[in-house]
Structure 1
Amino acid sequence: MISIQNLRKLFPGPDGPVTVLNGISLEIAQGETFGIIGRSGAGKSTLVRCVNMLERPTTGNIRVAAREMTTLNGAALGEARRGIGMIFQHFNLLSSRTAAQNIALPLELIGHPRGEIARRVDEMLALVGLSERRDAYPAQLSGGQKQRVGIARALATKPSVLLCDEATSALDPETTKQILALLKEINRSLGLTIMLITHEMEVVREVADRVAVLDHGEVVESGRVFDVFTDPRHPVSRSFVGEVLNRELPEALASRMHQSPSSAEHLVFRIIFTGPSANQPIVSEMVRRFGLSFNILQGHVDYIQGSPYGTLTVEASGTEQAKQSALDFLRLNNLKVEILGRVPATDRAVA
Structure 2
Amino acid sequence: MTPLQHPPTLRCLMLLEDTTVIVTESLTKIFPGPQGPSEVLRGISLNIGKGEVFGIIGRSGAGKSTLVRCLNLLERPTSGKVWIGDQEMTALTEAELRRARHSIGMIFQHFNLLSSRTAAENIALPLELIGMPRPEIQARVSELLDLVGLRERAGAYPAALSGGQKQRVGIARALASKPSVLLCDEATSALDPETTKSILSLLKDINRSLGLTIVLITHEMPVVKEIADRVAVLDRGEVVEQGRIFDVFTQPRHAVSRAFVQEVLNRDLPEILLPRLAPPGTREPSTPVIWRITFTGPSANEPILSDLVRHFDLSFNILHGHIDYIQGLPFGTLVVEAHGPVAARDAALATLAQKNLTAEVLGHVADTAAAAA
TM-score (norm 2): 0.91
Match of 1:288 in 2: 310
CA shift, 1:345, in A, is: 5.2
Match of 1:134 in 2: 154
Match of 2:46 in 1: 26
Aligned length: 350
Match of 1:113 in 2: 133
Correspondent of 2:327 among 305, 312, 336 = 305
Structure 1 unpaired stretches of 5+: none
CA shift, 1:188, in A, is: 0.4
Correspondent of 1:225 among 245, 268, 271 = 245
**Counterpart secondary structure, 1:132:** helix
Query: Does residue 327 of structure 1 match 2:349?
Result: yes
The equivalences for 1:1-351 within 5 A come to: 1-254=21-274, 256-260=277-281, 262-344=284-366, 346=368
Matched to 2:152, the amino acid is E
1:265-297 CA-to-partner distances (Å, cap 9, x unmatched) read 322221111122111111111112112222212
CA shift, 1:165, in A, is: 0.4
Structure 2 unpaired stretches of 5+: 1-20
Distance in 1 separating the partners of 2:190 and 2:303: 43
Distance in 1 separating the partners of 2:35 and 2:280: 47
Q: Contact (CA 8 Å) 2:49, 2:213: kept in 1 or not?
A: yes
Distance 1:257 1:154, change over 3 A: farther
1:216-243 CA-to-partner distances (Å, cap 9, x unmatched) read 1111111100111111111111111111
1:23-60 CA-to-partner distances (Å, cap 9, x unmatched) read 11110000000000111111111100100111111111
Distance 1:347 1:221, change over 3 A: farther
Match of 2:8 in 1: none
**Counterpart secondary structure, 1:337:** strand
CA shift, 1:340, in A, is: 2.0
Distance in 2 separating the partners of 1:334 and 1:117: 56
Distance in 2 separating the partners of 1:292 and 1:280: 17
Q: Contact (CA 8 Å) 2:106, 2:182: kept in 1 or not?
A: yes
Distance in 2 separating the partners of 1:143 and 1:237: 30
Distance in 2 separating the partners of 1:18 and 1:301: 43
Q: Contact (CA 8 Å) 2:288, 2:368: kept in 1 or not?
A: no
C-alpha RMSD of the superposition: 1.5
Instruction: Work out the percentage of aligned pairs sharing the same amino acid.
Output: 68
Distance 1:347 1:29, change over 3 A: farther
Q: Which moved more, 1:235-244 or 1:287-296?
A: 287-296
Q: Which moved more, 1:45-54 or 1:12-21?
A: 12-21
Matched to 1:24, the amino acid is I
**Counterpart secondary structure, 2:82:** strand
Matched to 2:261, the amino acid is V
